[in-house]
Amino acid sequence: MTTQHLLFELGCEELPPKTLVKLSNALTSGIVQGLHDAELAFSSVKSYAATRRLAVFIENLAGAQVDKTVQKRGPAIQGAFQADGTPSKAALAFAQSCNVEFEQLERLKTDKGEWLACTQTIAGQTTQQLIGDIIRKSISLLPIAKRMRWGSFATEFVRPVHWAVLLYGEQIVETDILGLQTGNQTRGHRFHAPQFIVIDKPEHYADLLLSQGKVIADLNVRQAQIRSDAEKAASAVQGIAHIDDDLLEEIAALNELPVPITGHFDERFLALPAEVLITTMQENQKYFPVKNADGSLRPYFITFSNIQSTRPQSIQDGNERVVTPRLSDAEFFWKQDRKKSLADFSSRLETIVFQEKLGTVAQKVSRLVTLSDTIASQIGADVELAKRAAFLAKNDLMTEMVGEFGNLQGIMGRYYALADGENPLVAKAIEEHYLPKQAGGATPSNEIGCVVALAEKIDTLVGIFSAGLIPTGDKDPYALRRAALGVLRILIEHELKLDIHALIAVASTLFTHEFDHAATQKLVADFIFERLKGYCLDKGFSADEFEAVLAVSPTQPFDFMQRLQAVKAFRQLPQAESLAAANKRILNILKKSDSPASQTVGNLVEPVEIALLELANQSAKDIAPLLETRNYQAALARLAELKEPVDAFFDGVMVNCDDLALRANRLALLNLLSKQFLECADISKLQA
């Protein structure tokens, strides 16, 4: 079958820069899915996305669907004819549904009987017949929060559309896209090349846009050029460009022809915290800051213009004029905030409601202080420093600086605390109690930070659950999933031996509104351990390994991980599969018995069971110190030595014998064995 390249481009007003990549990926995915559904083969796909356009290039797209041979089965032969041998109504109706004469029908014989049948070849539709609907469906499914209409059109899109290109090979595929008739004419840069540009072949699209239209169509190419140009511009002023990946993507989305401009600002602003300057330049101005090799800022910034100006100095001057009042505002906020100490802002927290049922932020801080006291005491951290950090943790929310730049919460608290002479560990904890901020993000760097971070997250989890605001589906306005995962990561990665259930219970007592404490505590614990499963699976553990540990209900996440690692190691032993099966058998036998679990093993008669009892008593002594030090891997390895005597026991002994006393003793022996394994995990959960 012949193939051709296909190009679709939708031209419009400037697209939202922060959603350009999302829209481009969704459009491409939708078209690709449509081609797969239509069974149209192709070799590769490439997305193009720029300020005024979304495009998709499909390489070697088949010209049509493959013809299909379809066999339809009709009525059974005994019902296909009347008594006189003429076709029945059912047979004639079947022939009519197949659009053939009755005489053209076949007979289909199978081992289950004989039926009338019709075999037909269905010609595949051409790509040109199908592609319009595929594209329209893809556009309708784009993740656009708010669609708009324009002019007298009834169609809706994220921005008004002005042209649509649809080529299959050199041929225009004529169809309607968002009220526009498709063609082969695109437009170049709004200022440098606003005229129409004819695309003769799909594969020439990017080159023609660049050479005639002054547009770099490929977002990745623009990003690479912006990064390279920014680095060169920074180097020219003896600095290093501070390039944030999200900002790089946004600048690439804002510019179809990015041209670097280096600007300068007054050196007096360097007295402000670097994060303040960086935030101002990045968020408000879309500038790349410039740093020294040691990480300190230089009084320069790099911006990008979407035109090749004949007067670049004017653009530079304009940007320098704009950034000065922005930095002056930040300087004003800093000076205003420094008129009082960070601790002085605490009273204002009483005016901010955290959640209707949970009270104010000041009340939350009071709970954080109590929780931090408990946690610090349990892990041996400095209690007074932890309580001080918890007391100050939220105060910077009331500062002018954080009021203007919300992303600086915690960061400004650290700066203000240090300026007040607070202990550096306290200052660092104020910043780090929000960590981790995203999946895979950094966790607190010291014990005090860990304490306050745990207190903050557990208080939020218990509080929001107690208020009945449990996350459902994709909705999680209080970021409880992130908080739960943060608790787990801090406990596991910092090897903190803290009991989740105990912490939840303490947190539960600190709220004054009415709620079911026991039910809430269980919900929160279950919620956290659900997140733990995802965490463990991401770390390479299997679902049955996780279930083996979960079955023995460890309450310390770090301890849970130690057990999980031991189970994974145990699984590699040659005895593992047999012992897992034996443990499953033991548990099944014990479930069906009414023998008390506390019964001691009495007289046994068979040599194999007497030998097993002796070995089981010895293994219990051997693993006791290992369990004391949580060396679960060594404990399971020691228990693996019981494989042969356990196998011999089941081969030579009938547990449920007629002698009731002997049966009870054998059940007690099995219970002794089961308990030893369950000290680590329920290995019967392991799948073969």
- Is residue 547 domain-resident? no
> Confidence band (pLDDT; 50, 70, 90) for 8?
very high
Q: Is the pLDDT of residue 178 over 60?
A: yes
Helix, strand or coil for residue 372? helix
CB atoms near residue 111 (< 10 Å):
4
* Average confidence score pLDDT of the chain: 93
Do 160 and 295 reside in the same domain of the chain? Answer: no
Do 245 and 113 reside in the same domain of the chain? Answer: no
pLDDT of residue 629: 94
pLDDT of residue 82: 84
* Residue ranges making up the domain that contains 314: 219-337
Count: domains in the chain: 5
pLDDT of residue 656: 83
- Is residue 551 domain-resident? no
Do 415 and 303 reside in the same domain of the chain? Answer: no
- Is residue 206 domain-resident? yes
> Confidence band (pLDDT; 50, 70, 90) for 119?
confident
Do 60 and 202 reside in the same domain of the chain? Answer: yes
pLDDT in tens, 272-305: 999 999 999 999 999 999 999 999 999 999 999 9
- Decide which of 148, 180, 213 is a domain's last residue: 213
CA distance 244 to 261: 17
CB atoms near residue 142 (< 10 Å):
17
Determine what percent of the chain is predicted with pLDDT higher than 70.
Answer: 99
Q: Is the pLDDT of residue 153 over 80?
A: no
> Confidence band (pLDDT; 50, 70, 90) for 667?
confident
Q: Which residue has the higher pLDDT, 27 or 649?
A: 27
Task: Calculate mean pLDDT across residues 132-161.
Answer: 92
- Decide which of 278, 313, 337 is a domain's last residue: 337
Q: Is the pLDDT of residue 1 over 70?
A: no
- Is residue 438 domain-resident? yes
- Is residue 550 domain-resident? no
Side chain identity at residue 631, one-letter code = N
pLDDT of residue 595: 64
E strands of 104-238, at which residues?
A: 106-110, 113-122, 161-168, 171-172, 176-177, 180-181, 185-187, 196-198
Q: Is the pLDDT of residue 554 over 90?
A: yes
Do 635 and 577 reside in the same domain of the chain? Answer: yes
pLDDT of residue 115: 82
Task: Calculate mean pLDDT across residues 199-214.
Answer: 96
Do 501 and 606 reside in the same domain of the chain? Answer: no
- Is residue 553 domain-resident? no
pLDDT in tens, 242-276: 999 999 999 999 999 999 999 999 999 999 999 99
Q: Is the pLDDT of residue 408 over 80?
A: yes
Task: Indicate the range of 13-27, 128-142, 674-688 predicted with least confidence.
Answer: 674-688
Do 328 and 265 reside in the same domain of the chain? Answer: yes
Do 33 and 137 reside in the same domain of the chain? Answer: yes
Task: Indicate the range of 117-121, 166-170, 357-361 predicted with least confidence.
Answer: 117-121
pLDDT of residue 597: 55
Do 314 and 272 reside in the same domain of the chain? Answer: yes
pLDDT of residue 599: 66
- Is residue 227 domain-resident? yes
For residue 58, give the CATH number of its domain: 3.30.70.260
Q: Which helix (H) or strand (E) holds 111?
A: none
Q: Is the peptide bond before 424 cis (omega within 30 degrees of 0)?
A: no
3-state secondary structure 671-682: HHHHHHHHCCCC
Do 405 and 518 reside in the same domain of the chain? Answer: yes
Task: Calculate mean pLDDT across residues 516-522.
Answer: 96
CA distance 153 to 130: 24
> Confidence band (pLDDT; 50, 70, 90) for 145?
confident
Q: Is the pLDDT of residue 201 over 60?
A: yes
The answer to whether 584 touches 684, Cβ cutoff 8 Å, is: yes
- Decide which of 315, 337, 359 is a domain's last residue: 337
> Confidence band (pLDDT; 50, 70, 90) for 92?
confident
CA 16 vs CA 22, 25, 190, 495, 609: distances in Å: 10, 14, 16, 44, 76
Q: Is the pLDDT of residue 216 over 80?
A: yes
Task: Calculate mean pLDDT across residues 615-640.
Answer: 92
pLDDT in tens, 669-678: 888 888 888 9
Question: Phi/psi of residue 126, each to 5°?
Answer: -80, 160
- Is residue 548 domain-resident? no
Task: Calculate mean pLDDT across residues 570-585.
Answer: 88
pLDDT of residue 609: 83
Q: Which helix (H) or strand (E) holds 252?
A: helix 245-254
CA 167 vs CA 54, 64, 185, 220, 669: distances in Å: 15, 15, 10, 23, 78
Task: Calculate mean pLDDT across residues 551-570.
Answer: 95
Do 445 and 517 reside in the same domain of the chain? Answer: yes
> Confidence band (pLDDT; 50, 70, 90) for 598?
low
CB atoms near residue 175 (< 10 Å):
17
Do 363 and 484 reside in the same domain of the chain? Answer: yes
> Confidence band (pLDDT; 50, 70, 90) for 596?
low
Q: Residue 255: which of 53, 13, 50 has the closest Cα?
A: 50
pLDDT of residue 110: 82
Q: Is the pLDDT of residue 29 over 90?
A: yes
For residue 393, give the CATH number of its domain: 1.10.3210
> Confidence band (pLDDT; 50, 70, 90) for 183?
very high
Task: Calculate mean pLDDT across residues 19-32.
Answer: 97
